[in-house]
């Protein structure tokens, strides 16, 4: 049976993950109901049962807080070469930004920022491992997607001003566009949302927190704005180049989406 997931069901999964990350344990039925408006514990139980039947959550028997979010395997035989490349590119993007978040957390004096960066890196690593292992089990050879990411890597790996400032711009712009592009694909049908919902959640959370940090920084020192503006344009160009490269090589696919830059967090700070 094909994987399917509605936007509402994805919202529930995201809430379970975020609650677990913040508290170190999953939400109770009451807490999940309160957070998502499910009409009480019985409504939460019904939703969890649906998600369990679809393979998106597992429950540890004998534990009142035993919910674990999992990603059911996708049948790769249903995908064309271009879509496999697109999903492997997502794996590679999570690897790049997981490493970036971890490197920025080293020596970070603000423990709340450090914890947030490490948490993001761990979410990306789990997602990267899940997709990577799924493809490794089903494909004899994993194609190399590195050439499509060359321009984007060049931007990320080439500090232009202050390393922390560059990181905030890269994170804010990339993750907002990344989440928007994944959402654009997921909105096409419930199968694509079933595959991409973790990427939407990771991108949206990372963009939200780094936009807040970037806004505070620019309010403190507005002279940084021109450099941030230039950096944002380079990041947008890198993403556009990546998508164009994949489309030119493989054509359109089920996981294709037109590149439309997401609202730029820097524009509100001019």
Q: What letter would DSSP give residue 106?
A: T
Give dist(CA 157, CA 172) in Å, integer.
16
Eight-class DSSP state of 262: P
Beta-sheet pairing, 57-59 with 67-69:
antiparallel
**DSSP 8-state class, residue 69:** E
pLDDT-derived band at 262 (thresholds 50, 70, 90) equals low
Pair 156, 166: CB distance under 8 Å: no
Share of the chain above pLDDT 70, in %: 94
In 3D, which of 258, 257, 254 has the Cα closest to residue 75? 254
Options 1.10.510.10, 1.10.10.10, 1.10.3720.10, 3.90.950.10; CATH for 7-69 is 1.10.10.10
pLDDT given for residue 203 in this prediction: 96
What pLDDT does 45 receive?
87
Is the CB of residue 173 less than 8 Å from the CB of residue 179?
A: no
Query: Percentage of residues in the chain with pLDDT exceeding 90?
Result: 63
Give this prediction's pTM.
0.91
- The Cβ of residue 257 has, within 10 Å, a number of other Cβ atoms equal to 19
pLDDT tens, position by position, 80-112:
999 999 999 999 999 999 999 999 999 899 999
The span from the CA of 128 to the CA of 133, in Å, is: 8
Cα separation, 250 vs 244, in Å, equals 10
What is the spatial distance between Cα 134 and Cα 125, in angstroms, rounded to a whole number? 14
State yes or no: pLDDT of 73 exceeds 90: no
- 269 pLDDT higher than 60: no
Contact between 239 and 174 under an 8 Å Cβ cutoff? The reply is yes
- Distance, in Å, from the CA atom of 85 to the CA atom of 204, rounded to the nearest integer, reads 22
Per-residue pLDDT band for 270 (boundaries 50, 70, 90) equals very low
Assigned CATH for 91-269: 1.20.1260
Element holding 58 (H helix, E strand) = strand 57-59
Residue 261: Cβ-neighbour burial (10 angstroms; 0-12, 13-18, 19+): middle
Interval 169-208: pLDDT, tens: 999 999 999 999 999 999 999 999 999 999 999 999 999 9
Q: Average the pLDDT over 105-126 and give the result.
A: 93
Residue 13 scores a pLDDT above 90: yes
pLDDT over 70 (residue 268):
no
pLDDT confidence band for 161 (50 / 70 / 90): confident
Task: Tell me the three state secondary structure of residue 232.
Answer: helix
Q: For the chain, give every domain's residue range.
A: 7-69, 91-269
């Amino acid at each position: 049976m094909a994987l399917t997931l509605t936007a509402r069901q994805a919202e529930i999964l995201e809430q379970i993950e975020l609650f677990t990350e913040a508290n170190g344990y999953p939400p109770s039925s009451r807490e999940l109901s309160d957070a998502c408006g499910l009409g009480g514990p019985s409504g939460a139980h019904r939703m969890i049962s649906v998600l369990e039947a679809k393979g998106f959550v597992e429950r540890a028997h004998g534990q009142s807080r035993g919910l674990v979010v999992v990603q059911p395997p996708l049948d790769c035989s249903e995908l064309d070469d271009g879509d496999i490349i697109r999903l492997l590119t997502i794996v590679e993007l999570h690897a790049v930004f997981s490493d970036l978040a971890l490197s920025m957390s080293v020596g970070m004096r603000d423990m709340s920022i450090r914890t947030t960066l490490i948490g993001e890196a761990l979410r990306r690593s789990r997602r990267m491992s899940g997709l990577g292992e799924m493809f490794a089990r089903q494909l004899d050879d994993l194609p190399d997607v590195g050439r499509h990411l060359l321009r984007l890597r060049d931007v990320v790996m080439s500090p232009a001003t202050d390393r922390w400032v560059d990181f905030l711009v890269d994170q804010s712009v990339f993750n907002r566009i990344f989440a928007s592009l994944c959402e654009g694909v997921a909105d096409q049908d419930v199968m694509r949302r079933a595959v991409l919902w973790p990427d939407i959640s990771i991108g949206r959370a990372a963009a939200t927190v780094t936009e807040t940090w970037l806004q505070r920084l620019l309010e403190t020192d507005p002279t940084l704005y021109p450099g941030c503006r230039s950096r944002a344009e380079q990041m947008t160009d890198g993403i556009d180049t990546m998508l164009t490269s994949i489309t030119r090589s493989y054509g359109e696919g089920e996981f294709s989406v037109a590149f439309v830059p997401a609202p730029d967090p820097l524009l509100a700070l001019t």
